[in-house]
Amino acid sequence: ELKVEQNPLFLSMQEGKNYTIYCNYSTTSDRLYWYRQDPGKSLESLFVLLSNGAVKQEGRLMASLDTKARLSTLHITAAVHDLSATYFCAVVYNDMRFGAGTRLTVKP
């Protein structure tokens, strides 16, 4: 059974700081996604990573994928308050399985 482990589960950051969220998974996968979820809302797609070494960036967020290590990272650069949300990684293997989520709070 595919297992997806995400850490940290909680992250409190100061504005302007950098940090990385990690996502490990247990079996070979076709694709890996990163999503953002605001309270009471559904998921917003951030990145889809399809191949080993894939790197994608959007604004202050950058995601990468190492399929050999079965590891993806979501790096936050110079955090701002608007990035406060819960971030999920999800791995596709027949269906889609989610990590536990990282609840990010960015403080002034």
Partner 1 sequence: GAVVSQHPSRVICKSGTSVKIECRSLDFQATTMFWYRQFPKQSLMLMATSNEGSKATYEQGVEKDKFLINHASLTLSTLTVTSAHPEDSSFYICSARRDPNTEAFFGQGTRLTVV
Site residues (vs partner 1, CB under 8 A): 30-31, 33, 40-43, 45, 48, 88, 94-101, 103
In the complex, minimum distance from the CB of residue 87 to partner 1, in angstroms, rounded to a whole number: 11
Q: Min. distance of Cβ 45 from partner 1 in angstroms? A: 6
Nearer to partner 1, 19 or 98 (CB): 98
* Residue 15 or 58 with smaller CB distance to partner 1: 58
As measured in angstroms, the least distance from the Cβ of 70 to partner 1 is 18
Closer Cβ to partner 1, 42 or 108, answer by number: 42
Three state DSSP letters for the chain = CCCEEEECCEEEEECCCCEEEEEEECCCCCEEEEEEECCCCCEEEEEEECCCCCEEEECCEEEEEECCCCEEEEEECCCCHHHCEEEEEEEEECEEEECCCEEEEEEC
